[in-house]
Chain A
Amino acid sequence: MTDSPPPLVRFENIQKSYDGRILVVKDLNLNVAQGEFLTMLGPSGSGKTTCLMMLAGFEPATHGEIFLKDQPINRVPPHKRGIGMVFQNYALFPHMTVAENLSFPLEVRKMDKPERERRINRALEMVQLGEFGDRRPAQLSGGQAQRVAVARALVFDPDLVLMDEPLGALDKNLREQMQYEIKHIHENLGVTVVYVTHDQSEALTMSNRIAVFNDGVIQQLAPPEDLYEKPLNAFVANFIGENNRLLGRITGVNGDSCTVDVDGGGSVVANSINIGGEGARTTLSLRPERVAINPEPGSLPNIFDANVEELIYLGDHIRTRVAVCGHDDFVVKIPNSSHHASLEVGNSVKVGWNVEDCRALDSSD
């Protein structure tokens, strides 16, 4: 990444261990640009929350240095870092009204009353809770409480806001609505957001870039499209979106493409991304919507016989599970268009795909 504007946050060779033996974060290097929405995505225990806690100042880094605006902050206590934060359980002060909650960071900063009121009103308008200043947190619904938490984290105009799975406690519809609201607030204010979640659709919806964590290491750092379209390893391919995996051995490498003998039989021509040499094991990754049913013979380089095992009607598409090349968990998404192939369980069909859509990645086993 070219650092034309200096990054707002810089993790430099950060390591973290809680017990002095096992590293939960291994040599992390990460830059967060000014105004960026960066999501740390990963399964639980992958080190993403630990990274956020180190940035907030609640956990010390075992090794390495974190920079905020080019200043090292390892020795700066949380209350002097000037970072906003939204917590998963909202963490609103229950003994204060909504307005008093928002006023708290402003009083700490010794702002006078008119200025505080102006900012509180502006922040409440921003989250569409203008009338709720006198309510107490216990009188709010989950979505309203989370909006207040967002407003409180932004009311003192921090350069950086951290969000620790803020939508985890909300139901599905509300979560989606809040995703758009947070995204729009980010776009309107230009504030830098570092967001932690284990929900990939949340990450894909809101982020400029996503850092996929696993096992204390960033597996891939990329914009959402690239993460889905161009995963660099088998973990990312599997973690982001639905993915078909075919395991096999490389028999030939030819420039950008390679030939792979799939374990259950069949030879596939794939796009070589992250592979060893000839004879090495590989995982082929293929998105279900990139597979064609009954293609014209010769129109695609990879065409195989398949047997329909299961059909699940999902409205906009039909999720079809077929057995191909000895793998019976191969999924094809057939769009529910007016002239889609009508299949029955037990049918023999042909499935085919392009070289570019089938990515040969590291062997995950």
Chain B
Amino acid sequence: MALPLHATTGEKIWYYAFRTICGLIFFFLIAPIIVVIPLSFNAVPFFTFTEAMLTFDPAGYSLKWYQDFFTDLNWQGAVKNSFIIAVFSTLIATALGTVAALGLSRPEMPARTMIMGILISPMIVPLIIAAAGMFFFYSDIGLASTHIGVILAHAAMGTPFVVITVTATLVGFDHSLTRAAAMLGANPTRTFFKVIVPLILPGVISGALFAFVTSFDEVVVVRFVGSYQQRTIPWAMFSGLREQISPTILAVATLLVILSVLMLTTVELLRRRSDRIRGIDQ
């Protein structure tokens, strides 16, 4: 989008102003995340840059907060819980969300908009209200302060992402493919696993990723529904911020940023690979 030769002075000014504004917006979004990374290598237990850090004195830096994270049983328990809860709630959300999206994409399905609205309501209802509601409901049926309770709560929150991404994939889905599979002798189950699933897989994977991230960085619901036994990484960070302000939290934050970047990259590569296999080269 180079500047055309006939651009007026006003257009030239706007051209550079536009770029500056965009740059500032990106800076505003990314700076708070980036700034955490050097701070996590702080040698002293403060959340600010020390003089030694600013002069790039090696003595100002240390890995001790990372060491703390990897040896502390409180943090290690949180890591374990986070992964268990995120993996299982993602599996449930992905399975339910995919099936729901497939059902909702059928033209003969009655009350589609209403059901869709109910399914994606966990995204819209204020989290604190959903969390309080879940707390009372789960307490009554004995699921409060259990891993299963937190997993189910996170699955309900992750499902809308899967419904939305899979529905988007199904918009371009050629339904004569399922008819073709039937005419070739495949029963509905085989058609589902051999034809439908491979084709909607990109939507399923990105929905699953959203569901995973939703569970992985969720703190409100887990504080209501869970207890110390179900503490996840965000739960432990939240407690850490209130009780003992330690740069270990910054080390954890840095590791989470790296994990998120890795996950997004993996999914994007997978998506490109599946597009290439299907011959949808851009």
Contact = CB atoms under 8 A, between A and B. Distances in A.
B183 A108 contact: no
B182 A136 contact: no
B183 A83 contact: yes
Interface in B180-228: 180-188, 190-191, 194-195, 198-199
Contacts of B274: 95
B280 interface: yes
A78 interface: yes
Nearest to A78: B182
Q: In terms of DSSP, what is the predominant structure of the interface of chain B? A: helix
A85 B180 contact: yes
Contacts, number: 76
A104 B194 CA distance: 9
A84 interface: yes
Contacts of A347: none
Contacts of B277: 95, 136
A58 B279 CA distance: 29
A276 interface: no
B177 interface: yes
B69 to A, nearest CB: 42
B179 interface: yes
A263 to B, nearest CB: 48
Contacts of A162: 183
A78 to B, nearest CB: 4
Contacts of B174: 89, 91
Interface string A104-121: 110011000000000000
B6 interface: no
A104 B181 contact: yes
B194 to A, nearest CB: 7
A56 interface: yes
Contacts of A152: 184
A79 B185 contact: yes
A138 B183 contact: no
A77 B182 contact: yes
B278 A94 contact: yes
Contacts of A83: 183
A44 interface: no
Contacts of A137: 279
A95 B184 contact: no
B168 to A, nearest CB: 17
A95 B200 CA distance: 11
Chain A CB within 10 Å, residue with most, of B179, B195, B274: B179
B65 to A, nearest CB: 46
A105 B184 contact: yes
Contact of B183 (A78, A92, A139): A78
Interface of B: 174, 176-177, 179-188, 190-191, 194-195, 198-199, 274, 277-280
29 contacts: A56-B183, A58-B182, A78-B179, A79-B181, A79-B187, A80-B185, A81-B183, A82-B185, A84-B184, A89-B174, A91-B174, A92-B180, A93-B195, A94-B199, A95-B199, A95-B278, A104-B186, A105-B184, A105-B186, A108-B185, A108-B186, A108-B190, A136-B278, A136-B279, A138-B278, A138-B279, A153-B183, A156-B184, A162-B183
Given A79-B188, A89-B174, A138-B280, 19 more contacts: A56-B183, A79-B181, A79-B182, A79-B187, A79-B191, A81-B183, A83-B183, A85-B183, A89-B176, A91-B177, A93-B195, A94-B279, A95-B199, A104-B186, A105-B185, A108-B190, A109-B185, A136-B279, A162-B183
* Closest 7 pairs between A and B when the two form their complex, measured CB to CB: A138-B279, A105-B184, A91-B180, A85-B183, A78-B182, A108-B185, A91-B176
